[in-house]
Chains A and B, each alone.
Chain A
Amino acid sequence: MNTAVHDIQKNTTLLSALAQNLPNAYISIFNQDQILEFASDAGSKQGYLPLNREIGLRLDQVFSDYGSCALNKITERYQYALTGQALEFEVASNGEFQHHCLTPIKGASGKTEYILCFVQNVTEQICSIAALRESEAHLKMATQLAKIGYWELDIHSLMFTFNDQLLDILKVTPEQLGGYSIPVQRYAEDFLIDDTAQIIQDEINLAIETSDPNFSRYLEHRFVDGLGEIRYMAARYIAVKDNNGRTIKTIGANQDITERKLAEQALTKLLAQTTTQNTRLRDFSFMTSHNIRSSVANLVGLTQILKDDPGNLDYIEMLSKTAHELDGTIKNINNLLNPQKTSGIEAKVDCNLQSALNRFAELNTQLIESTGSEIASLLPSDAVVSYIPAYLDSIIYNLISNAIKYGTHPLSKKIEVGCKQGKQPNIYIRDFGHGINLEKHGDSIFSLGSRFHSNRDGQGLGLYMTKKQIESAGGRITIESTCNVGTTFTVYF
């Protein structure tokens, strides 16, 4: 008998011990007639392919419980091993996978006398590899769907390395970029705008300086993609450190959040608009109710004192004044609520500014004379604007009557009307009265309910309405004022 074979026979105990220590494996020996000579204990354990491990059985009997396909494969390979060829193969049966490693053992004649078989159950490994492949595929799909791009930044060389998704986000190809790696500096120059480059630099410094083992950052920034479009990126990254605690690289996942960001911005804008509108409506309702109630309260009060003192002419005069105030308030509210009444119906026509001023003077002789106001026109006789005549008259009326009421005092009753130099057609109305402290009231001069003068009554509606009217026709109004010098309103059509 050959020494090698002899040794094997002698050492079956050793082989059994060895097999026990190998996970999910057994060792067997077949002789040249394919008869089982030895099988280690592990081979019969649960969870294995059924194996008849009785010594003296033939190969096909040992593996008789295997499916026919598996059995054919085993028979064929073992026969091949008997020709002196070492080989390995895998076989599947009943959902289990086995890895067979066959080593022919030759006798003195050089002929194969035994096959030493090392068989391992590899079901778990194979399944987990398959699962891993599947989850990799899922991850890749999810990454593509979520448009997540991965990157690494080498801190030493300051080189970014991107994956395909990140290049998709940047809307560049590896060819355009010259590969998947570019220096930070070039990334900043090609894709970043505003102060984003500085933000990236600050983030790199943070990653270098951090001693936090769980260091993780999230930031959102704008960038310019390869097509020149401004978009938004969300970046989340961590720092990777070497054994000495030095940051060697940062690894991050970026996402294109442009759609979300634009929706957010639209929403914020809408909210701001709605809030402003709401505030305006609230102010409007309180102011109008305040104005109406003030007048009504006075009417009630006056009727009370008139009952005690019938025929008091002072009270009757006050009654009349209050009634007119109330009438004015309600007219103003009507105008404010239905500003479109005139617009759209009337078309713009060429209006001569001097003619409009003349109309005002004719219709308001009483107001001008009773206050002793002097209206000085510096309007060029050919100054013409394309405008809705009713609007122009209303604007001139509001601004000049305002100037008469609030912009004149006993020493200065002059009101100047003219056109400023410049391309845009305009008209200005200037008084030489007390002026308005614009530093104090500048923000609220055209807002609802603003009153600035202590000596006259006003409802705080006039300038607000004038401004709205001008703006609705596409123009604007400006104010300049100096205390004790005067005030100038300029309307640009």
Chain B
Amino acid sequence: MNKSFNVFLVDDDEIFSVIAKVTLSKLYENVQFTCLPNGEAALKKICSCKPSDMPAILFLDINMPVMGGWDFLEALEQVKSATFPICMTSSSVDPKDIQMAKENSRVIEFMEKPLDRIKTKALIDTVLA
């Protein structure tokens, strides 16, 4: 449990990223964050990432400029080294998004913003176990 782990936050909303960071830091002492403003930046980061720096989990927003969440997931299929689970985050109430999240095998969870502490802790504990 003391071993540190990485969390990638892919979201154009800086305030959301700050809240998520603060919330997660309260839950885990040994968490490190990488905040990325859109899918394209996240993809670049992942491609240049050492295996040891890969995230334990990636929180992915749907609605972002330049490259949104769904386009990112599609592009990520080409990156063999990326095996980490993904949690979609959105304030969207579009049932289509929830359905698409269910159908994607990489996506293990769909969370509405803001992140709920209890649910988030349960999710990350499962991933780390």
Contacts and interface: CB of A to CB of B under 8 A. Distances in A.
A293 B114 contact: no
B93 A289 contact: yes
Contact of B13 (A294, A296, A304, A309): A294
Contact of B19 (A301, A454, A457): A301
Interface in A448-463: 449, 451-455, 457-458
Contact of B92 (A293, A296, A318, A321): A293
A35 interface: no
Contacts of A308: 22, 26
A293 B90 CA distance: 9
Interface in A278-313: 286, 289-290, 293-294, 296-298, 300-302, 304-305, 308-309
Contact of A302 (B12, B15, B91): B15
Interface in A245-304: 286, 289-290, 293-294, 296-298, 300-302, 304
Contacts of B63: 290, 449
Contact of A304 (B38, B112, B114): B114
B92 A302 contact: no
A297 B37 contact: no
Considering residues A293, A296, A322, A453, which has the most beta carbons from chain B within 10 angstroms of its beta carbon?
Answer: A293
B15 A293 contact: no
B66 A294 contact: no
B16 A298 contact: yes
Contacts of A452: 65-66
Interface in A344-377: none
Contact of B113 (A294, A314, A451): A294
B19 A286 contact: no
B123 interface: no
B22 to A, nearest CB: 5
9 contacts: A294-B91, A301-B20, A301-B113, A301-B115, A302-B19, A304-B19, A454-B66, A455-B37, A458-B65
Interface of B: 12-13, 15-16, 18-20, 22-23, 26, 37-38, 40-41, 63, 65-66, 90-94, 112-115
